[in-house]
Amino acid sequence: MIKVSPSILSADFANLGAEVKKVVDAGAEYVHIDVMDGTFVPEITLGAGIVKAIRPVTDAVFDVHLMVEHPDTQIESFIKAGADIITFHVEAAKHPHRVIQAIHAAGCKAGISLNPGTPVAMVEELLADVDLVLVMSVNPGYGGQKFIPASLSKLRRLRAALDACGSQAELEVDGGVTEANAQEIIEAGATVLVAGSAVYKSKDIKATIKALHGRN
């Protein structure tokens, strides 16, 4: 089953609660929450306080994407705030395996993410332990960028590697996902499609989310 995870980075922050509710009502299974610290990536977005504030709006899965240095220091507050999945970057952690253990010990699902320039080998030893693998299909930091085509080959290789170790982990793709490329992304093996601008700039959000689920 394909899941769609609209990124609230492209939402109207002045009406965040309603913006979250809008995409869930339109058929999204997840809500993608982009946390940026101004160091791992240039911008600063939102913290655990905002996650806590929007948590009562919906029961949908809160898919927290930490684009931060020292992700281990942020786990507790985001779990307390209501995160269901916490994904951090392999490039940001000295001991990614330990971070995964810490997320699990706190009762949350754990995801590992790789930037476009990071080889699959960097996460190979972690695949059996994670609940989600997030392939960045743009360089993290901003919404509205263009999908990097080489991400499709990376998705295929990760799909094969996850299948080979019998993992049921979700394979998520983030950046430049649109109605036009959703089907090929799904065919490459992705199970969760993040989309920020494609969803929030859509004139018919319900139709867009339906299209992002692919043809079957």
Residues forming contacts to ligand DX5 in the complex (CB under 6 A) are 7, 9-10, 32, 34, 65, 138, 140-145, 174-177, 194-198
**89 belongs to an annotated ligand binding site:** no
Residue 147 CB-half CA count within 13 A: 25
Nearer to ligand DX5, 68 or 102 (CB): 68
Q: Token pair of 36, please?
A: 């940026």
178-197 residues in contact with Zn ion (CB under 5 A) are none
Quick check: 69 and 37 in contact, CB under 8 A? yes
Q: Is 32 helix (H, G, I), strand (E, B) or coil?
A: strand
**174 belongs to an annotated ligand binding site:** yes
**34 belongs to an annotated ligand binding site:** yes
Q: Is 133 helix (H, G, I), strand (E, B) or coil?
A: strand
Helix (H) or strand (E) holding 174: strand 170-174
The binder of 118, among ligand DX5, Zn ion, none, by C-beta within 5 to 8 A per type, is none
- Nearest distance, CB of residue 177 and ligand DX5, angstroms: 5
The binder of 6, among ligand DX5, Zn ion, none, by C-beta within 5 to 8 A per type, is none
Helix (H) or strand (E) holding 112: strand 109-114
Residue nearest to ligand DX5 (CB): 196
Could you tell me the sign of the dihedral formed by the alpha carbons of 120, 100, 196, 183, in that order? positive
- Nearest distance, CB of residue 78 and ligand DX5, angstroms: 15
> For binding to Zn ion (CB under 5 A), which residues are involved?
34, 65, 174
Catalytic residues: 34, 174
